Amino acid sequence: MKESVIVVYEKPELKDPIFIEGLPGIGLVGKLAADHLIKELNAKKFAELYSPHFLHQVLVKKDSTVDLMKNEFYYWKGGEEYRDIIIITGDTQVPPTDSYGHFEVVGKMLDFVGEFGTKEIITMGGFQVPELQGEPKVLGSVTHVELKERYKDLPIIFREDEGGAIVGAAGLLLGIGKLRGMRGISLLGESLGYVVDAKAAKAVLSVVARILGIEIDMSALDERAKETEEILKKVQEMQRAMFEQQMPQPTGEEEDRGYL
């Protein structure tokens, strides 16, 4: 495998779909929001992205089967009333040490959603803050300044922190997308970043719901967050234990070590 590949299970006919990203990041805010949106809309998986830039490992599932790390595309048809949607979520992003890989993967994503006529993007994530004051706010940034006008009635604090960054897919999708004539908004929920942050996900998702003009039942989100947190904790403990036992070895051996 020498570049990212997308395995396509179905080619839905979509009309001007909006592309929504929620991949792992700060507080797992984006992923949690995307997972919940998929569940509530009963969106359908139609493609998977695999990349040689993801970690060189497979993940074990509850039924003892394994899969490469992957990202997954879902679609939902809005019918007469709502817009069609493509959602991407997944286990992983390219590690932070591989900038090149990030560009490659995000380029492939945009190629793919472009085939379905995507011209608009929403990216979801967390924005790490040292402390929270009241409910988490949702910070927005856009590809084109006129989008601020369009969304001015929504509870979005538009960022003005010149030089601030949006790292990873949540940023690159907008940046590369813009070069290809797409438009988009990044919605980041304030988060302490340490935990699986259901509150921030809820804040972000409620803004997304208003953009899409749909209703999303948030009641299951807390439950989902708790489950995710438990799995994550187990994984992290195991990985930390293994990590501590690692030491230089002559033959580049590595196998079933959960090193970072």
Nearest alpha-carbon partner for 171 in 206, 142, 196: 142
Q: Which residues of 180-190 are buried (b: 16+ CB within 10 A; e: fewer)?
A: eebbbbbbbbb
CA atoms within 13 A on the CB side of 111: 10
Comparing CB distances to a second copy, the nearer of 101 and 136 is 101
Among 15, 164, 213, 220, binds a second copy (CB under 8 A): 164
Identify the residue among 44, 50, 82, 206 touching a second copy (CB under 8 A).
50
β pairing state of 71-76 and 85-90 = antiparallel
Residue 84 or 123: which CB sits closer to a second copy? Answer: 123
Sole window of 10-18, 175-183, 203-211, 218-226 interacting with a second copy (rule: CB under 8 A): 175-183
Q: Which of 12, 45, 68, 229 binds a second copy (CB under 8 A)?
A: 68
Q: Which of 75, 136, 140, 200 binds a second copy (CB under 8 A)?
A: 140
Neighbours of 41 (CB within 10 A): 19
At its nearest, how many Å lie between a second copy and the CB of residue 80?
33
79 versus 250: smaller Cβ distance to a second copy: 250
Binding to a second copy (CB under 8 A) within 178-207 occurs at: 178-179, 186, 188, 193-194
DSSP letters spanning 170-222: HHHHHHHHHHTT-EEEEEEEEE-SSS--HHHHHHHHHHHHHHHT-----TTHH
Phi, psi of 253, rounded to the nearest 5 degrees: -70, 135
Please list every residue from 225 through 254 that binds a second copy, using CB under 8 A: 231-232, 234-236, 238-243, 245, 248-254
